Structure 1
Amino acid sequence: MISVALDLMGGDKAPTEILEGAKLSSLSDCKLYLIGTKDALDEIEGYEKIEVDDYLPMDVKPTEILRRKNSSMYVGLKLLKDSVVDAFVSAGNTGALLAGATFVLGRIDSVERPALAVPVPSTNGFTILIDAGANVHVRAEHLLDFAAMGLSFIRVLGRDSPRVGLLNVGEEESKGDETTKEAYQLLKENFAEYFIGNVEGHDINLGKADVVVADGFSGNVAMKTMEGTAKMILQTLKSQVEGAGLFQKLGALLMKKVFSSLKKTLDPRTYGGGFILGVNGVVVKAHGSSDRFAINNALQVAYRGVQMKLVESIRGEIERVRNRGVGG
């Protein structure tokens, strides 16, 4: 049986929505550990409960997790480190979770910078965006590692011949700063069979690449822009239907299934969260604004990560790249 620890105290809507997300979980062969304060755990039945007396607020400095070792986030990572659980899920502060995962779990050999990999909707179903916010400043070698980890992720999700693109300000090889230009050459040399060159922001949702590699600043801006655009589209459709005439409303009623499918595709809650890749354990970062629906999906993401042996797959891909003598 797979076991997953959930940080009840992480996120804008903690602990109520986080707990409700756990209650929605239908994973029959998954054991849930709930980590929270005494008040949050009171009257909860049917789960393994881990009581703590501290938690990290959303605006905390990332390094605070290293000092506050009785916080719900640190305790969850320690449970994963000690093999009490197989995965850990938190909607808490991204920087703190990254710092904690790196410090407590340790990095995979030869990985200097763990990264946040998030599936975003595209015409292919989804595209993996990595890094989506963990590393603001990177070197070209880091972007090469991100590509290797993204390739491992997309393969275990069933894409046998994935395409990798480098997020840039233009498609031409000469575009970008020195870091992206150097990264372009490293990707071309090491992933010639997969690398399709530079891609622009609008290419992500169009499915031009299966894995889009970026520094954390650019990746996070791209992700948040996509989320905002999706919300705008859904809100505009809703307001237009509400203000329409009778015949338009009848037409909208006939299109209800289509609109429901569109809403599900564009809703970031559907994807639950992203993996912090490059550390020795399955760690899922749920969106800070996650509600019960998003948390339920984040638990499923963590479960699949364990099932897919994601960490082992990444170790193999990183070793393959390093054996070619690049990025050491």
Structure 2
Amino acid sequence: MAKKIIGETLLEIANAIESGQFTKKIKIGLTTLGSEHGVDNLVNGAHFAKSNLFDIVLIGPKVETDLEVIEVNDEKEMHTKMEELLESGYIDSCVTMHYNFPIGVSTVGRVITPGRGKEMILATTTGTSATNRIEAMVRNAIYGIATAKSIGIKTPKVGILNVDGARQVEKCLNELKDNGYDLEFAESVRADGGCVMRGNDLLVGAPDVMVCDTLSGNIFMKVFSSFTSGGDYESIGYGYGPGVGEDYNRKILILSRASGSPVVSNALKYAYDVAKGNVSEIAKEEFINAKKSKFDTIIESVTKKEAKVSEDIKMPDKQVVTTQISGVDIMDLEDAVKELWKNGVYAESGMGCTGPIVLVNDAKGKIAVDILLKAGYTAK
């Protein structure tokens, strides 16, 4: 086996000499100050990750190691040096802790789900993709798709976590898809299916990319990575991932200060994957395609602030309501009910096992759905 590997390596070198095409070996940085578990924890993770595929450059205090070390004295100097090395191209990506990304950039995590042992992308886990919640989650979906493609998933399947705003996000993504954006939805493992995911789907990794708000993603990241170790030591998964944005070039991946050596090791491998796959360029291309599919118009429709004229809407006479209409977001639920009242349809709001619902009389079911569709309250 050793002779075979040496032979293949020599053949690659010979071919490179003959063609005149040499590829620089990818270098991955790792900052080594700031961990709650000390410098050795990070250095040990780097040693676990050692590979013939990439070189590792430590940025921190001097330590006993055969890896390259660029010495710095404190965390501020460490991040300044990291940025210099990235800008100069000396390193291709870097793993660090507590880095401040600009608005519009969020990190895309990578976990191993406990139900099936399947890898799943969490989009996103730190940062702020946009100040509007719905826009942020739609952007998170694109960030997740770009990251999944950069690590070799050619057609990632996307699920939307059932949090506030999920149905509006589903509507936006469906519009993008209808307008030509290449997007494939995942299917929930629950009997009623759909792309809006429940806790069960998190555990089994139903989608390749799970879209959520950043705060929820951060919590899930911590739970997935430390549920076997009690919370103060993250031992499973690949960390909080690379910062991804519409036009962001630095490949900086985030760890928690509680991340243990196994997660540090995996984060370095993740950093290699997104550097080799060039996640930044893929993200740019995804947004070019999304904008061709009316991304800006779709986002404007959910973020514009219109002056609302107060109107006294009279509630129609009460009726028995047994028909359920799902697909209305929790934040729009009461407005959807009033929209039906305005059109002479008695309705009530409720909460089903899969989320918010509007309840109407059986005879008014189809009429109610048509009214809500026309008003943009449901994608169904």
Q: 2:62 aligns with which of 41, 56, 75?
A: 41
**Equivalents in 1 of 2:47, 2:285: separation in Å?**
36
CA contact (8 A) 1:187 1:195 kept: no
What's the TM-score once normalised by structure 2's chain length? Answer: 0.60
Q: 1:152 aligns with which of 140, 146, 151?
A: 146
Q: 2:185 aligns with which of 195, 205, 208?
A: 195
State the Cα deviation string for residues 112-146 of structure 1 (Å, max 9, x = none): 62112112223372111111232396432222221
Q: How far off is 1:280 after superposition?
A: 0.8
**Equivalents in 2 of 1:218, 1:286: separation in Å?**
17
CA contact (8 A) 1:149 1:318 kept: no
Q: How far off is 1:231 after superposition?
A: 4.4
Q: Between Structure 1 and Structure 2, which shows a larger proportion of helix residues?
A: 1
Give RMSD over aligned pairs: 2.6
Which residue does the alignment assign to 1:120? 111
Unaligned ranges ≥5, structure 2: 1-24, 187-194, 298-380
CA contact (8 A) 2:41 2:260 kept: yes
Aligned residue type for 1:114: V
Which residue does the alignment assign to 1:51? 71
Which residue does the alignment assign to 1:220? 218
State the Cα deviation string for residues 146-165 of structure 1 (Å, max 9, x = none): 11121122233333333212
**Equivalents in 2 of 1:159, 1:3: separation in Å?**
23
Aligned residue type for 1:86: D
Whichever of the two has the greater Rg, that structure is: 2
CA contact (8 A) 1:120 1:205 kept: no
Query: Is 1:319 matched with 2:308?
Result: no
State the Cα deviation string for residues 175-214 of structure 1 (Å, max 9, x = none): x3xx444322111111364235321233112232221111
**Equivalents in 2 of 1:47, 1:231: separation in Å?**
29
Q: How far off is 1:277 after superposition?
A: 1.7
Which residue does the alignment assign to 2:4? none
Aligned residue type for 1:275: P
**Equivalents in 2 of 1:6, 1:308: separation in Å?**
19
Which residue does the alignment assign to 1:275? 242
CA contact (8 A) 2:128 2:136 kept: no
CA contact (8 A) 1:34 1:48 kept: yes
CA contact (8 A) 2:176 2:294 kept: no
Higher relative contact order (CA 8 A, sep 6+): 1
Q: How far off is 1:216 after superposition?
A: 0.9
**Equivalents in 2 of 1:308, 1:155: separation in Å?**
8
| Number of residue pairs the alignment of both structures matches | 253
CA contact (8 A) 2:224 2:236 kept: no
CA contact (8 A) 1:164 1:194 kept: yes
Q: 1:182 aligns with which of 159, 168, 185?
A: 168
% identical aligned pairs: 23
**Residues 33 and 121 (structure 1), Cα distance of their counterparts in 2 relative to 1, 3 Å cut:** closer
Which residue does the alignment assign to 1:61? none
Which residue does the alignment assign to 1:9? 33
Unaligned ranges ≥5, structure 1: 56-67, 103-111, 170-175, 233-266
**Residues 286 and 82 (structure 1), Cα distance of their counterparts in 2 relative to 1, 3 Å cut:** same
Which residue does the alignment assign to 1:244? none
**Equivalents in 1 of 2:159, 2:270: separation in Å?**
24
State the Cα deviation string for residues 221-265 of structure 1 (Å, max 9, x = none): 233334454447xxxxxxxxxxxxxxxxxxxxxxxxxxxxxxxxx
